[in-house]
A and B are shown apart, each in its own frame.
Chain A
Amino acid sequence: MVNKRKQLHLIVFLVLLASTAFTVNPVFSQQTKLTYTPHWLPQAQFAGFYVAREMGFYNDVDLDITIQHPSPTEDVLDLLVAGKADIVSHFLISAIAQHQSGTKMVCFGQLSQNCAQMFVTRKKDSINKPEDLDGKRIGIWEAGFQEIPSALIDEYNCSVEWIPIVSSVNLFLMGGIDAMTVMLYNEYDQIINSGINEDELNPMLFSDFGYNVPEDGLYCLNETYYKNNDALKRFVSASLRGWEYTFANKEYALDLVWKEMKAANIPSNMAHQQWMLDITEKMYNRNDKPIEVGELLEQDYIDAFNLLITIGQLEAEAKPDFDSFYKKNQ
């Protein structure tokens, strides 16, 4: 008995020795450290990044990625300019506006290919179409994303009062505003999960009104791009790998999302995150666009650019410059 135990110890020791000899210790590897700041608080919208990190997809390509979420009042583009984040994700349209304002930044990956933004109103208020919003109070994220809603409201010649909202749908639930700008994958479902039935709501998806502007894209400063060009390419491919794995293993991905949210003390639940992940997958659908996954279509850029001119955020004579805005991940 004693002999057998000794033998076992010996075997374990030898196995450990062998594994130490043939494994590359991460401490000594040449990993590139980058901070990625998603444009919103932890949720399933960013599941692919958590999965890539947890599954070691970043490690696999020698990246040490820190995912750092912003506070509800922080604009990630400000964080980017301030150098507090190496990589940020943001909506295409906000990024174009920032780019046009002179920020030396590039888009090096486009994840979402569709617009999930929408207005939601209560049926009992009889606000059924954009025209009905005239004279109404509309909740809008204080952190940004107001370009498309503004364009839509302008198109219908409505005069509205924009009420900045930080993070909750409570003001809408309490009847403090007539309409609210929400994301199909997020707040729309939150409203339903707060006890308002879907048939009591009027959803107005912007994509249904000709504003199918892609959303989540990956951005960094020019400086970062040229300095870490290779690392960023690896970041995009590892992230896409993470997303691919996410859509194939939603339960696992949702577990990670759950942990992330719990750590940040953000109230949520599986039902909602499941909904968000499902919608995100739909948003990532390229439809018939002649592009590869993770790429930005030039026409989408031009349409978004023109939209900014329409709402007066860009001057009429501004010219789109796709090449300086977008760097294809090659």
Chain B
Amino acid sequence: MRQAWKKSFAIRVSLYILPFVSLLIAAILIFYYFFSRGMITDSAESNAGEIAQSAVNRIEQVLVSVEKVTKSEALFTQVFTPDDAAIRLMLSQGIKSNPEIFGGALAFEPNNFNSEQRYYAPYAYRNQDTIQISYLGNENYEYFYMDWYQIPFTLNKAYWTEPYYDKGGGNILMSSFSIPFYKKAESKSIAGIATSNIALDWLTAIVDSIQVYETGYAFLISRTGTLISHPAKDKIMHESIFSLAKEMDNLKLREIGRAMINGESDLVYIDNELFPESWLYYLPFPSNGWSLGIVFPDSELFASLKKMNASLIFLGLIGFSLLCFIIFNAARRVTVPLRKFAKSAREIAEGKFDTTLPEIKTQDEMGQLYHAFEYLRKELGVYIENLKQTTADKEKIESELRIANEIQMGMVPKLFPPFPDRNDIDIYALLEPAKEVGGDLYDFFFIDDNKLCFAVGDVSGKGVPAALFMVVTRTLLRSSAIKDVPIAKIVQALNDSLSQDNEAQMFVTFFLGILDLETGDLEYVNAGHNPPVILTKTKDPVFAKMTGDMALGFMENQVFKAAKIKLKTGDTIFSYTDGVTEAANHYQELYSDERLLSVIKVCQGCSAREIIEKMYQDINLHASGAEQSDDITMLAIKYRGPDS
């Protein structure tokens, strides 16, 4: 199984692509989630803001109208100093024409309205469908010390009281707007307080009617954080946002409460017993410093997002699975021709050049591969066909060369001893061509009864041309070496014949000797050939002196000089070609003249065959398996003397 994915290109491609795709999908989902969350939060803030603002505006409208009525009454009292009847009428009218006002009073400073009257505070209020008047103030109700009076009085400015339960007004939640009015003459001295109170049931109804999402709701707190409206009715007027924060030991809620009563507006996330995992938007009332809070659960705010996210994840998974399937199949489809190509290649390798290649009609890489394969198949067919032909030709040539070699080898004397009936001479020779046919030659034959003519040559180049040149040389030698013709003339004639029409510019180094077996005189011409070694019984082997002649085949009419030495009985002349001295080992180190001499040196007393065998053995030792690069030819002639 672990290896399976390595074997399938489709799986590998899928494995390369899919992690990246999954990351991409995850990244997009995450980005989308947070982006949407931000958008939803912004939109919730703006929605909640609009709802809150609209509620605040509705409530403010009423509060402002109450303020206006009260201010008018204060101003009227200040300007016209009305008597009791006028005041009663004014208060009654104020209530009658302003349905939102429950009651109104003009409360005077002690003994201010009437120097004999400590308390004067006519109060008009609704009683069912009628408007009744009563007078506030007695020993048990020192209205001067009531918030609705004392605070605007002390602050010398208008004031909305904290909400309170009014026992006289049906025990409903009320709040009063109070404003000082001044003595006519000296306007800075407060004469009393004009006040109007309103029931807050309509206000809490507005707040209670606000519904945000499914369970979201609104609540209202006063300037001191007291809950005026809240779905938990038992908390109203009892708890403040701060006492709740204290009960829950929640400092954050306290800080939010402070922001609310400070007239700030914001959307905040809260999580406590009262507002579990919720968002709270709050907005202040400009008139009285109260604050409206709108609460909605986080789960409902992001319900749609969560739903959509679930769908997106679901769709993403489906999409991912589809993508897996598609990528896998696409990769498989793309690689179908490859698999067919692999099969075809195997068949072609097996020699079925007529195999059918998968049909590709596209012009893409697969098309190129198809064309390349098609070309390969055709070329390979042609090549193999050519190869077959060439191989057949080569085999034919090789067979012919083998025959040529046999012919060539047949030309040199190979039967030893060559002259079994003669004891005065011991001859042995070896020709080991580097290729099938070589350019080396050796020959020996008697010109007359006592004169042995022998030759060693090395044709420039190798192979068939060299072999042919060798054959020509050998044939010409046989025809040129005629009795009583001086050896230099023989070589000269040979050279002239070879030089004629020698367009191939071939040449042959050539050593020719004529040994008089009666006298031991050896006459020789060395045409550019390696000097043979003369091995005597008494002295170290030496190279025969060069005659300073050029190799044969260069030019006609060349004059050759002959040299003469005398061999004693038992002396040996060892001729060879440069294949011996230049035989190389793996390190390209040559066999060398010195080594040749040192081997020959120990061959005193050896027969011609032994000398050549030792030499050959030592050459092989030196080469130690390195390929033979040139023909190796050796010819040893041991003079045994006329008396043998």
Contact = CB atoms under 8 A, between A and B. Distances in A.
- A is bound by B: yes
Interface of A: 71, 73-74, 137, 142, 163-166, 168, 170-171, 173-177, 192-195, 197, 261-262, 265, 267-272
Contacts of A192: 242
B258 interface: yes
A324 B425 CA distance: 180
Contacts of A194: 224-226, 240, 242
A164 B151 contact: no
Contact of A171 (B147, B235, B242): B147
Given A74-B140, A193-B242, A195-B257, A176 B167 contact: no
A176 B148 CA distance: 13
Q: Which of A142, A174, A265 gathers most chain B CB within 10 Å?
A: A174
A269 B146 CA distance: 22
Nearest to A169: B224
Interface stretch (B243-251, B294-302, B464-472, B563-571): B243-251
B165 interface: yes
15 contacts: A73-B145, A163-B150, A164-B144, A165-B145, A166-B145, A168-B162, A175-B155, A194-B225, A194-B226, A267-B237, A267-B238, A269-B238, A269-B247, A271-B239, A271-B246
B66 interface: no
A194 B240 CA distance: 7
B442 interface: no
Given A73-B141, A192-B242, A271-B247, A171 B237 contact: no
Given A168-B162, A193-B242, A193-B246, A176 B151 contact: yes
Contacts of A269: 235, 238-240, 243-244, 247
Given A165-B150, A174-B155, A267-B237, 18 more contacts: A137-B154, A166-B146, A170-B151, A173-B223, A174-B154, A174-B159, A193-B243, A193-B246, A195-B225, A195-B240, A195-B242, A195-B254, A195-B258, A195-B261, A265-B167, A269-B238, A270-B247, A271-B246
B41 to A, nearest CB: 27
A166 B238 contact: no
A170 B224 contact: yes
Contact of B142 (A73, A176, A193, A272): A73
A171 B161 CA distance: 10
B224 A195 contact: yes
Contacts of A197: 254, 258
Contacts of A267: 226, 237-238
Contact of B139 (A73, A175, A177): A73
A202 B94 CA distance: 44
B154 A163 contact: yes
A315 B448 CA distance: 189
B187 interface: no
Q: Which of A164, A262, A265 gathers most chain B CB within 10 Å?
A: A265
B362 interface: no
Given A73-B142, A270-B247, A171 B224 contact: no
Contacts of A177: 154
A198 to B, nearest CB: 11
Interface in B243-289: 243-244, 246-247, 254, 257-258, 261
Given A164-B145, A165-B150, A195-B225, A268 B238 contact: yes
Contacts of B225: 193-195
Given A73-B141, A271-B246, A272-B243, A265 B165 contact: yes
B128 interface: no
A304 to B, nearest CB: 26
A173 B145 contact: no
A223 B239 CA distance: 43
Given A174-B151, A195-B257, A270-B247, A166 B242 contact: no
A170 B146 CA distance: 10
Q: Which of B140, B141, B223, B238 gathers most chain A CB within 10 Å?
A: B238
B171 interface: yes
Interface string B121-141: 000000000000000000111
A171 B142 contact: no
A171 B257 CA distance: 20
B148 to A, nearest CB: 10
Contacts of A176: 150-151, 154-155
B363 to A, nearest CB: 80
